[in-house]
Amino acid sequence: MTHEIIDNPLTEAELAPSETPLNVQADPASKKRKSAQDALANKKPKVQENRAIYVSNLPRDTNEHEIEDTFKKYGIIDQGADGNKRIKMYKDEDGNFNGDCLIVYFKKDSVHLAIRMMDDYFFRIEDQSQGTIHVKEADFSYKKHKDGDEIASKMTRKDKKTSERNRAELNRKLAEWSDNEEEVAETFAPKKNKWAKVCVLRYAFTLAELDEDPAALLEIKEDMRDEAETFGDVTNVTLFDKEEDGIIAVRFKEFESAEKFKDAIHGRHFGGRKLEVSLAEDKPRFKKSARGEEPDSDEEERNLDRITRAQK
């Protein structure tokens, strides 16, 4: 029995060798020190960008929601590692809001726009009894408060992945503000998780189907690999024959291939069942037997590395 996905969609430059004068013979230790010094010399200093504003004389009865609604007009407000907006409202000795707050934007250009539009302006047009608010560029002393770093250090792996998704969502919103979406996406895209090369497919088979036909396991894997290879190089296909949801994991060589495969195949039918396809966030940990088992793709890579080193 051949399984196929219905309505199939259509489907570095080499580094130049360093030139070393023939008449110079440097000892290994000297070359090592020089290499380390060159690396330090070529290392670009980290440029600090001030993306924060300091607002004073706000109404004492305002809240974070009202502040956000007012200042998000001038740019995307950044999110902390915990997913909350980076708006800090300062309090007096009694614990009440004192009228001052700090707002951190996602992009530094928003700072100048917010100052130009809101400095010496009324926070509430309908209530001018308190006078105008004052908006200025915050000094870097706010970075001395390591709340974000402390939160990040206590985050679990799952929390960090959630934080990455939050940053990706901010990047998407930022694209709406920018004239050059491609540049924005490239600059602010979050780091990709290595497991995002793996597509996890659900409902690709039934356990009854595997029990009825011993050859079905290999046939399903081969059919799925054939389909996946139309989107890019496939390094591993694993069928989890102990999972009632009919799970198959397909690992691609490149992230882009996995993303294209997911977008094209999700919702289509395979063997009479509607597929659900997602990118893995961690190493797939599902139940399977040893039937038709392929080496884990990580093991394949380690073996290739060992062979390559042995041949050198």
Q: Please report the domains of the chain, with CATH numbers, ordered by start residue.
A: 52-152 (3.30.70.330), 156-188 (no CATH), 194-305 (3.30.70.330)
Task: Tell me if the pTM is above 0.95.
Answer: no
Per the document, the length of the chain is: 312
| Phi–psi pair at 277, nearest 5 degrees | -125, 135
pLDDT in tens, 21-35: 444 455 555 555 556
pLDDT in tens, 112-122: 999 999 999 99
166 or 129, higher pLDDT: 129
Alpha-carbon distances of 24 from 18, 20, 21, 97, 98, rounded to whole Å: 14, 8, 6, 70, 69
Specify the amino acid at residue 184. Answer: V
Task: Quote the percentage of the chain above a pLDDT of 90.
Answer: 46
Give me the residue label for tokens 């990455």: 164
Q: How far apart are CA 71 and CA 106, in angstroms?
A: 12
Can you say whether residue 195 is alpha, beta or left, with left for phi > 0 and alpha for psi between -120 and 50 degrees? Answer: alpha
pLDDT at residue 228, rounded to an integer: 95
pLDDT in tens, 182-239: 554 454 455 567 889 999 999 999 999 999 998 999 999 999 999 999 999 999 999 9
| Secondary structure class of 134 (helix, strand, coil) | strand
pLDDT at residue 84, rounded to an integer: 86
Neighbour count for residue 161 (Cβ, 10 Å) = 15
pLDDT in tens, 107-154: 888 999 999 999 999 999 888 888 999 999 988 665 544 444 544 555
pLDDT in tens, 48-92: 678 899 999 999 999 999 999 999 999 889 988 777 899 999 999
pLDDT in tens, 254-272: 999 999 999 999 999 988 8
Q: How far apart are CA 308 and CA 164, in angstroms?
A: 35
| Secondary structure class of 211 (helix, strand, coil) | helix
Which residue from 86, 81, 230, 239 is spatially nearest to 163, judged by alpha carbons?
81
